[in-house]
Amino acid sequence: MNQLNIIQTLRLQTHLNQELESRVLQRTFELEQATEFLINKLAIVAELHDETTGKHIIRVGKYSGLLARKLGLNEQIVYMIEKAAPMHDIGKLMISREILVKPDKLSNEEFLHMQQHVDKVNVLFDDHPSMMIQMAQSIAIHHHEKWDGSGYSKGLTGQSIPIEGRIVCIADVFDALTTKRPYKPAWNFDESINYLKEQAGSHFDPQLVELFVSSIPEIKAIQEEYKDD
C-alpha cells in the first residue's frame, strides 16, 4: 500500500470513528430524554393519585435545582436533582388512596401505612442502572429523613442523609406549606419561611435553610411562574 492509500485509509477510519461517536452520543441523548419524559409522566400520575396539583412537582423540582445550584454542586448533579425531584412521592402509587386524600388527621395505624411509600420505591425502581433513575430512587427514599434523626424510614441523621434527600425535603415541605391540601389551608409565604427557620437543625439541614432563605427573590419568581391555575 502506497503512502497516498495509507493516508486515505486513515482519513476514512477517522471519519467512521467520528460518525460512530456522533451516533452513540445521539442515542445516549435520546435515551436520557426518554428517561426524563417517563420520570415526569410517572410523577404526574403519582400526584393525581394523591389529588395534589401537577404544578407541585414542577415547583419542587425548580426549588430543588435552585438550592442545589446555590450549594455549588456540579451542574450535572444539579440537573439530575431538578429533573428527578418530581418523583419524590412516586411510592404513594402503592398507598391506599383513601389515606392520601383523607381530610382529617391520620390515625397512628394510617400514618404508619402512609410512611411505607418510601420503602416501596425499591419495588418500582429495582436498582436500574440509569443515573437519573438512581437519583430519583434516592430522593424518593430519603426526602422524609430529618436532620436530627427523627424522620423515616431509616432514621438517618445530619450529613448521613444524602444531599439530594436533604434538598428535596426542604423544597417539598415548603411547597406543601404554601399550598392548600385536603387536611389544611395554605400558609402565607412568611409563615412558611419562618417554619423553615424554626426547624433548621432539627427537621432541616441548617446550611440549606440558610441558602433557601437567602434565595427568596428566586423562590417567589418560581412561585409566580408555576402558580396553580
Cell of 217: 427573590
Question: For residues 92 and 49, is the Cβ–Cβ distance under 8 A?
Answer: yes
Catalytically annotated residues: 92
Task: Classify burial at 100, counting beta carbons within 10 Å of its beta carbon; exposed 0-12, middle 13-18, buried 19 or more.
Answer: buried
Backbone angles phi, psi at 206, to 5 degrees: -60, -35
Cell of 101: 386524600
Task: Classify burial at 81, counting beta carbons within 10 Å of its beta carbon; exposed 0-12, middle 13-18, buried 19 or more.
Answer: buried
Helices and strands: H and E segment counts in the chain: 11, 0
| CB-CB neighbours of 138 under 10 Å | 19
